[in-house]
Amino acid sequence: MKSIGARLALWYAAASTVTLACLFLVGYYLLRGYLIHGLDLLNQSEFEQIKARLGPDYSALSSAVIDQRIRETTEYASVLFYIDIHSRDTGTIFYSSNLKGRPIPDIKGARRYDVDWDVGPLRVGEFIMAPYDVAIATPEAQVEGVMEGYAGVCAALLILMLAMSAAIGLGLSRLALRPVRLIRATASRIGSENLSERIPVPAVADEISDLARLLNAMFDRLEASFKNVRRFAADASHELKTPLSLVRLHAEKLLAGGTLNHENEEGMQTLLEELTRVNSTIDELLFLSRAESRSITLELAPHDPADILANFNVDAQVLAEHHGVHFPYSHEGSGQALCEPRWVRRVLLNLLSNAINASPPGGNIRLRSRLTGELWRVEIEDEGAGVPSSEYEHIFDRFVRLKSKDRQRLEGSGLGLAICRGIIELHKGRILAETGSNGRALRVVFEIPAQPPPPRAPSLTPDELAPATSR
Amino acid sequence: MKILIVEDERKLGLLLKQGLSEAAYGVTLAATCAAARDALCETSFDAIVLDLGLPDGDGLELLRQWRRSGFNEPVIILSARDAVQDRIKGLDFGADDYLPKPFSLQELLARLRSLLRRQASVKDTVLEHRGMRLDLVGRTLHFNGQPVDLTNREFALLEIFMQNPGRILPRTLICEKVWSSPYDVDANLLDVYMSKLRSRLETGGDKPLFKTVRGVGYKLQ
C-alpha cells in the first residue's frame, strides 16, 4: 500500500480487532466455567434435597422405600436431573426414570465431570452418602446454547470493531500525518526563488518536529551555498569586469591617440578583440554557474513556436547563405510552448552555428520542429562527419570543443552547447545528441514543455458563419 | 552638455572623465552616493552615468530616490552585473539605458548621444548620407536616386548607421538595437549582415561606406 496513512489505519484496525478477539476468547472460557459451576451447584442442591427427604436413618430403609421417596421428590424434575444411586455392595438402588435403566457413566477419581450422553453432554456430580454413591447429572444444553449466543454476538462485535477501528484509524492517521503533509507541501514549494522559506516547526518536541528541524537545517545549508554561488557570481563580475573596463578604455585611448605605429596599432586591436572574447567567456561562465545554481529565473510564458522559428529563420537563412549551406526548416502542430523566446533564439543560433561549422560546403542543415500536446521538440541535423556516439554525453559539458573533421578547426569558447543545455534545463526541458538519419552526422534534439491548445469553440456551420444579409 | 559621472573606482572615473571631456562634454565626477546627491543639488546635468556598486550605498537605491523626488535627467547605468534581471530592474527603477562592464568609450558616447537626442525629441524622418536617402516613414531607401530593396533587418541596421554618421558604433549596441539581444554577436550575424549591406551599397569607390573598427564595431563614413 502506498499511503502510510492507510497502512497505519490497517495496522491499527488489525491490532485492536485481534486484542478484542483475545478478550472474547478469555471471556468465553470464564463464562463457560461460571455456567458449569452453576450446574454443579444445582446438582449439589438436588443432592441435599434427596438427602433431606431420605432422613438421617436412610441406611436402615429398604430399597423400595428409598426408591419411592426419591421418586416423590424428584420425578417433577426428571427433565432436569438424572439420578443414579448405587451401593458398592448391593449394586444399584435407584435410577431416575429418564435414565431408562442405564447407569450414569462413572469416571473414577473425579467428583465433577462432563460426559457425552445420547441426549447431549451432561454435567455430573458425585456425592457420598455412605454406603451409597449418588450421581446426579444435569444436561449442559442450556450452557451450550448460551455459549453459542455469546459466540454469535462476539463475531458480530468483532466485525463492527474491525470496521470502526479502520475508520477511526484512518482518521487518526490523517490527523497524525498532517504535520508530514505540511512538511511535504512546504518543502516542495521551496525553490530557488524562495529559499528563505522554512517549514513551520511545532512547539512540541516529537519525531515530526525533529524531522522538520532537520529539513530546515538542510535548507539552511542549501540556502547558504546558493547564496555563495550568487555572491561568487556577483564578486567575480565586479572584480573581473571593472579592471577589464580599465584595460579596454586605456587601449582605446592609445588607439585614438594616433601615436602608435602600424605594428603597435595591430597589436592593440588584437588586444581589444581578445578582451571582447575574454569578456564573453566570463559572461558565459557566470551564466552557467547561475543556471546550475538555478539563480536565474526565466519568464516562461506561452509563445507560439511558429513565430519564434519564423523570426529565427530570417537570420538563419542569411547566415546559411553566407556560409554556403542550405537551411530548410519545417514546423508542425499548433499551440504554445512555455519559453522565453530570446533564450530559445540563443539556443537555436548556437546549434545552427555548430551545424554550419560541421557542414561540408553546399550541405543541408535540417531543422524539424514539432509541437504536440505537451512537448515542443526541435531537431537540428547537419551533414557533417558527426561525433562518435561515445561523446554524445560529453558534448554538453563545459569547454568541450566539437572538432569538425572536414575542416579540422576548433570553434568558439567551448561553452556553446553547455549554455544550450543550461538554457533548455531552465525551461524544464532536455537536450540530447543523436546520430543523424544518414547514420553518421550529428543531430541535436531539444524538448521544451508545451501548453496544450485551448479547447476550440464549437465549430459553426457555414450557414451560421454567413452574414445575415446574404440570406 | 554637462554630464555627472558617479563612479567609485577612481582610475576608471578619471579615464571616463577624460574621454568624455575630449568629446566636448562638461564632466563632474562623484565617487559616492553622498557626493552625487550634493552635485545634483548644486547644478543641473544633461545626463548622469551611474555605477551601481558604490561604497556608501547602492546606485539603484540612489536612482530610485532621484526619480521619486522628481529628477528626470536621463541616466545610464554602468554595472558589472550583467544578469538580465539586474538590467530589467535597473530600467524599472527609472534608468534610461544600461551598459554592462567592460564597455568601450565609443559605446558610452554612442549611448549618451542617443539618450540626449531622445531628450531633444528631434527626430528626422528622412536621413541622407553620401547619396543614400532613407525614408523612415515610407521605409524606402534610394541610392543615387535608384530605389534599393532592403530586408527589415537591413533597414534597421542602416537606420542606426544613418542616425550616427561618422561615429563608431559598438557591436553590442548595434545588436541590441536590431535584434534586441546583445548575444547575437557570438554567431557573427552582424558581420554577415554588414557584408550583405556592403555588397548592396558599396560601389568600390575611393572610400568604403562602412569602416570596420576591430574589436569595437563599425562606422559609417
Task: Note down pLDDT in tens along chain B; length 221 residues.
Answer: 789 999 988 888 998 998 888 888 889 999 998 899 888 888 888 899 998 878 888 888 888 888 888 788 889 988 877 666 677 777 888 888 888 888 888 888 888 888 887 766 556 788 888 888 888 888 889 888 888 888 888 888 898 888 888 888 888 888 877 877 665 555 578 888 988 888 888 777 777 888 888 878 888 88
For chain A, give the mean pLDDT: 84
* d(C-alpha A296, C-alpha B73), whole Å: 31
Peptide bond between residue B182 and the one before it cis (omega within 30 degrees of 0): no
Distance (Å, rounded) from C-alpha A212 to C-alpha A192? 19
pLDDT for the residue numbered B126: 84
Q: For residue A465, what pLDDT band results from cuts at 50, 70 and 90? A: very low
Give the closest residue to B83 by CA, choosing from A235, A225, A234: A234
pLDDT beyond 70 at A470: no
What mean pLDDT do residues A309-318 have?
91
Q: How far is CA A251 from the centre of its chain?
A: 63
* pLDDT for res A308: 92
Helix, strand or coil, per DSSP, at residue B109: helix
| ipTM for the complex shown | 0.73
Check pLDDT > 70 for residue A66.
Answer: yes
Whether residue A460 is predicted with pLDDT greater than 50 in this model: the reply is: no
What is the pLDDT at residue A410?
46
User: CA-CA distance, A385 to A404, in Å (whole number)?
Assistant: 7
Q: What is the model's pLDDT at position A186?
A: 86
Each residue's pLDDT tens digit, A262-298: 898 888 888 988 888 888 888 888 888 878 777 777 8
Residue A406 banded pLDDT, cuts 50, 70, 90: very low
Residues A419-459 have pLDDT tens digits of 999 999 999 999 999 888 877 788 999 999 998 766 655 54
Give percent of chain A with pLDDT exceeding 70.
91
pLDDT tens for A8-54 read 899 999 999 999 999 999 999 999 999 999 999 999 998 888 888 88
Contacting A with CB below 8 Å, chain B residues are 9, 11-12, 15-16, 18-19, 53, 80-85, 100-106, 151-153, 171, 179-181, 183-189, 192-193, 195-196, 214-216
Yes or no, beta carbons of B184 and A252 under 8 Å apart:
no
Is residue A408 pLDDT above 50, yes or no? no
Residue A464 is predicted with a pLDDT of 43
Residue A416 at interface with chain B, using a CB cutoff of 8 Å: yes
Give yes or no for a contact between A65 and A78, defined as CB atoms under 8 angstroms apart: no
Chain B interface, best mutation among A235, A241, A245, A288, by max B CB count within 10 A: A245
Contact A338, A302 (CB under 8 A): yes
Alpha helices (H) in A122-206, listed in sequence order:
141-189
Cβ contact B18–A245 (<8 Å):
no
Q: Are B73 and B80 in contact (CB under 8 A)?
A: no
- Residue B187: its chain A contacts at CB < 8 A? 319, 349-350, 352-353
Per CB-CB distance under 8 Å, the chain B contacts of A286 are 82-83
The pLDDT assigned to A407 comes to 43
Q: How many CA atoms lie within 13 A of A332 on its CB side?
A: 6
Q: Which of A252, A342, A416 sits opposite B105 (nearest CB)?
A: A252
Helix (H) or strand (E) holding B47: strand B47-51
Which range (A73-77, A107-111, A155-159, A303-307) has the least confidence?
Answer: A73-77
Q: What pLDDT is stored for residue A77 in this prediction?
A: 61
- Cross-chain residue pair B81–A237, CB shorter than 8 Å: yes
Q: Pick from A239, A244, A248, A353 the residue to mutate for testing the B interface (most B CBs within 10 Å).
A: A248
Q: Out of A329-333, A390-394, A408-412, give the one with best mean pLDDT.
A: A329-333
pLDDT at position B84 is 65
Instruction: State how far the alpha carbon of A4 is from the alpha carbons of A210, A446, B132, in Å.
Output: 19, 38, 78
Note which residues in 290-319 of chain A have CB less than 8 A from chain B: 290, 296-297, 314-315, 318-319
Mean pLDDT for the stretch of residues A157-177: 91
pLDDT at A171: 92
Give the pLDDT band (50/70/90) at residue A92: confident
pLDDT of residue A284: 84
Round the CA-based radius of gyration of chain A to a whole number and report it: 49
A contacts of B198 (beta carbons < 8 Å) = none
Helices (H), A190-261: 207-257
For position B83, what pLDDT does the model report? Answer: 64
